[in-house]
Structure 1
């Protein structure tokens, strides 16, 4: 466990998924996200004991399994209040929604029902609204709207620290995945850009290193997204189905999803690029022999 203080009242538990602990005026702690699973919950519990204060609440930034997977364990250990964004809370309460929507709404494959995509269910006691501050144990938390990676994702601004969720990723994380996961390409870019105007001493991404300013990292993320978007447009100069397009992108960017989970996590952002291109009038939809295809409109 690597516990890093970024403010006298804020700590980051750094790992594959960063988790935060915030000291409240009532001398309690609020967790910002709880990691992937029971083990992450135990790590967070250990960090709270090291600080020497009780856990009062959990604030989730969005409803992906790797950000609320520790909720259930922590709730089994102590009666905490769980806060989550409107529009994300339903998935935290019923986590099967995540593998279902990744499998186009159908009953998901068994291979998609693992801890990386299917966390244990957790209650959400309070649904918060972007831009509307809420108070926990005497301390004010400001939700910052950061949709794109998830439909209703929020960052959390508290004690001059911005927990940016998955609005951006460090370059090694971007390079590892090739095409970073998101559900809305244009919203992802807008949200990343919006962080430039947030006044905070520290920015903490969900994956990567805390930084004083994330501007260069945001530039890199947007550049890589734009490259992938252009790859999609180029591949669709001839009619392509989504699966054909995914294979084209994999060849162009040297990607090789090794299992159904990796496949759907790559297919979703590629579908998001297609949606953006169609919405901008840069791509048309073609139905041919029961096949849904996409064709770039040359200008």
Structure 2
């Protein structure tokens, strides 16, 4: 993890597997996201103390545990005013909601209640929606970017944009094969929105800071479209249609994803379903319940 200055005196980020932003305004300092666990947060706190940098506020871009897992440890160590997007705040306060919704509403099995799906609960002091807002002394523009998560917000401050997981670095796209999304159509709409943001540069949740980040955003859009085209073609090979479970198996096999554990499979089930629902929204496929299974067909 390396501390990278973006705008001296005001904007920085800790570059790592999951990036953590840091803003400073006089005697106030704010983290943007908190890493996956206490170990990550201990490193952040050690660095800030060593550099004599203040920490008074925390903002969580969205309620996925790799972005908020270290927040409970931070709150247990010191008082920190914590802000989060509306709706995402509910999951941050009751993290069991994530394994609950991934498991289709059934009580999650013990193996699903791990730090990758369920971080420790945190207190939320301020809920934020899209638009200009004040978090302590920080005057920030919050930009709604759903698709990867339900009400994810990116933050624009002093011409630096902290994008959360609204887009991924190209290496991360290749690594995951099928990126986690809750709604592919909304994710692609958010990518269009990102290209219209005027700023000095952007920090994704996974990847590196880029001044000319729009090309990476376009690569994300092209990648999603590629997956949609593959999926439409795959379903089209079956005149009688494909069941939901067969679609999941076929897509995961084609993109060589690792889904040997239930938790992994549930994440990919959600992601594949996000691409299916995008095809439905675009009227490129139809669906029906047949023989007690969800089937998909290409419109002909």
- TM-score w.r.t. the length of structure 2 is 0.95
Q: Which runs of 5+ in 1 are unaligned?
A: none
Q: Secondary structure at the match of 2:289?
A: strand
Match in the other structure for 1:273: 275
**In structure 1, what is the Cα distance between the partners aligned to 2:208 and 2:43?**
18
Match in the other structure for 1:98: 98
Please list, as runs of the form range in 1=range in 2, the aligned pairs for 1:21-32 lying within 5 A after superposition: 21-25=22-26, 27-32=27-32
Cα offset for 1:20?
A: 1.1
**In structure 1, what is the Cα distance between the partners aligned to 2:184 and 2:76?**
37
Deviations 1:83-124 (A, max 9, x none): 000111000000010111111111122222111111000011
Given that 2:159 and 2:199 are in contact with CA atoms closer than 8 Å, whether structure 1 keeps it comes out as yes
**In structure 2, what is the Cα distance between the partners aligned to 1:164 and 1:122?**
22
Q: Secondary structure at the match of 1:168?
A: coil
Match in the other structure for 1:218: 217
**In structure 2, what is the Cα distance between the partners aligned to 1:107 and 1:231?**
34
Cα offset for 1:250?
A: 2.1
Q: Secondary structure at the match of 1:207?
A: coil
Deviations 1:163-192 (A, max 9, x none): 000011011100010011111111111111
Please list, as runs of the form range in 1=range in 2, the aligned pairs for 1:42-53 lying within 5 A after superposition: 42-53=42-53
Q: Secondary structure at the match of 2:56?
A: strand
Runs ≥4 residues deviating over 4 A: none
**In structure 2, what is the Cα distance between the partners aligned to 1:20 and 1:43?**
14
Length, aligned pairs only: 296
Q: Secondary structure at the match of 2:257?
A: coil
Q: Secondary structure at the match of 2:230?
A: helix
Given that 1:29 and 1:48 are in contact with CA atoms closer than 8 Å, whether structure 2 keeps it comes out as no
Q: Secondary structure at the match of 1:195?
A: helix
Match in the other structure for 1:297: 299
CA-atom RMSD in angstroms: 1.3
Match in the other structure for 2:12: 11
Cα offset for 1:251?
A: 2.6
- TM-score w.r.t. the length of structure 1 is 0.95
**In structure 2, what is the Cα distance between the partners aligned to 1:297 and 1:111?**
39
Please list, as runs of the form range in 1=range in 2, the aligned pairs for 1:101-120 lying within 5 A after superposition: 101-120=101-120
**In structure 2, what is the Cα distance between the partners aligned to 1:255 and 1:222?**
20
* 225-234 or 77-86, larger mean C-alpha shift: 225-234
**In structure 2, what is the Cα distance between the partners aligned to 1:145 and 1:288?**
37
Match in the other structure for 1:253: 255
Deviations 1:37-86 (A, max 9, x none): 11121122122213312310101101111111111000011111110001
**In structure 1, what is the Cα distance between the partners aligned to 2:198 and 2:91?**
30
Match in the other structure for 2:151: 152
**In structure 2, what is the Cα distance between the partners aligned to 1:168 and 1:279?**
21
**In structure 2, what is the Cα distance between the partners aligned to 1:269 and 1:58?**
29
